[in-house]
Structure formats: C-alpha cells, structure tokens
Amino acid sequence: MSRPGWRDYVELLKLRIAALLLLVAASGYLVTSGPVVVTLPFALLLVSGLLASGGASAVNQYIDRDVDGLMRRTRSRPIPSGRVPPERALVLGLGLIGVALILAFLVNPLTAAFVGLGFLVYVFVYTVGLKRRSVANIVIGGFAGSCPALAGSAAASGSVSLGAALIAVLVFLWTPGHFWALAFRMREDYARARLPMLPAITDERTAAKWIVVSTALVPPFALSFWVLQVSGLAYLAVAIIASAILLYYAFRFLRSPTVRNAWAGYRASGPYLAALLVGLIADRLLHGV
C-alpha cells in the first residue's frame, strides 16, 4: 500500500456534500437572525458544520468499506482502493466530530446537540441501522441533512425558529427523490452490493413513479415559506422558477424512465435546493423579512 497523501484524506470528507450542508446551516441561521449576523457564533457554526460533515463522511466510509469495494461508483474511494488504511479514516472521522462538537458547544449547548444529532442519525441510524436492511433507509436517514438548519437556528437564537423548521422539512422531503435518482442510474451497483435502495429492488416504471412523487412534493412545500411569511417576493420568484425547472426534469423522467433522464434529474436536484436556500438568504439580507 502506498503512503496516503493529503488529497486522499480530503477526499474522505466529501466536501461537495459538506458545502451544501453548510448552506443549509447558514440559511437556518439567517432566516432566524434576519440581516444581522453575529460573526463569532456564525463562524463557529460553519467551521463546526464543516468538521462534523467531513467526520461523518469519513466514519461512513469506514463502516461501508466492504460494500464500497463492490460498487463501481465507490470502489475508487480512498479506503476500498487501498490508499487510506481503514483505521486512519475512523480516527480522522471521530477526531473531526469531536472538535466539531466542542466548537458548537462554544456557541451554545443546543447547537452542539443538533450537530451531534446529525452525526448520530447519519452514522448510526442510516449507515449502521437502515442502509443494508430497509428500503426506507434514505427516507429516514435523510433527516441527518435537516439537522444543520436546526443547528443554524440554535446558533442564532438558542431556539428553533419557524423558518429553520421549514428548511429542515424541505431538506427532509428533497432527499429521497434526489438520491433515488442517483440510485436509478447506479441500480446494478446497489443490487450487486445487496443494498435495498428503491430503484435496485423494483422495476423501472415503479421506481420512476416513486422518484417523481417524492420530487413533486418539494415544490408545493417550498412555497410555504412565502405563505407563512417567512420569506418575501424575492424568494417566491426564485422558488417558482427553480421549481418549474425541477418539475420539468421530473416529469420528463416519468414519461421516459431512462438512465439518462434520471441522471439529468439528479443533476438538477442539487442546484434546485441550493437555489432555494440562496433565495431565502438573499431575501433575508435584502429585505429583513
């Protein structure tokens, strides 16, 4: 085994996922605080969130090193490829989450509790408990992605605001359709690894229906921010345009459930959520709604 380089350790952290989760945390903070940002708690929130997300990803890859080695999508990751010894990934992940919890606790205990809850749900509920056993794995485990919004609100006010709670539900609803679309493209991989992801255990048409149903739940809910006066017209415009694009890809996939259309929907889904979150942040900063 060659000596691992720093890039191998960085790869364990899945920084693209971490970036989206930081956006969730920032939006949770700003929909609670309004345009006023207290620099130190906000900075501690983001650093803690980055470390917690990276730590959870490293521990996840340590636990899943056997199935990762069976899947074409994941077998080149640092652990199954032999570039990073499993025990080093575990130590790195646990170390990062430990530091993350300390930094979050410096903000307040509730922030630390939500950071820790996100780690526990992702690693123990999803990875250990459900991923290999239940088709509901990503549905329930997706709550881990909601926790940064709650942590953000806690960092801003020491409580959970309506806006942050809505963001948490938004992420929870968005998650299954997003990852099922990826699993549709990689369903042979999931079947080979015997992971009960929905597209791997049902036929293409049924999987497509569930993906579209799950995806179609998100745009109506996205409008609730405006209906409940959590956001203003700037966000509403973003939500309408972005939702129209997302639904176009979803129903195109329903008409023709091909791998190509599933992949197109998956690639549109991440930017869709990011656009909603940026819209919420911009709306707060510009108008102080």
Query: Exposed/middle/buried for 129, CB within 10 Å: 0-12, 13-18, 19+?
Result: middle
Q: What is the mean pLDDT of the chain?
A: 95
The string of pLDDT tens digits covering residues 17-43 is: 999 999 999 999 999 998 889 999 999
Q: What single DSSP character describes residue 224?
A: H
**Where exactly are the structural domains of the chain?**
6-287
The string of pLDDT tens digits covering residues 5-20 is: 889 999 999 999 999 9
Report the pLDDT averaged over residues 265-284. 96
Share of the chain above pLDDT 90, in %: 94
What distance in Å separates the CA atoms of residue 56 and residue 20, rounded to the nearest whole number?
Answer: 14
CATH number of this structure's domain 6-287: 1.10.357.140
Share of the chain above pLDDT 70, in %: 99
The string of pLDDT tens digits covering residues 148-207 is: 999 999 999 999 999 999 999 999 999 999 999 999 999 999 999 999 999 999 999 999
Supply 63's token pair: 């636990």
Who contacts 245 (Cβ-Cβ below 8 Å, separation ≥6)?
A: 268, 272
Nearest-10 crossing angle of helices 109-120, 86-107: 150
What distance in Å separates the CA atoms of residue 139 and residue 179, rounded to the nearest whole number?
Answer: 10
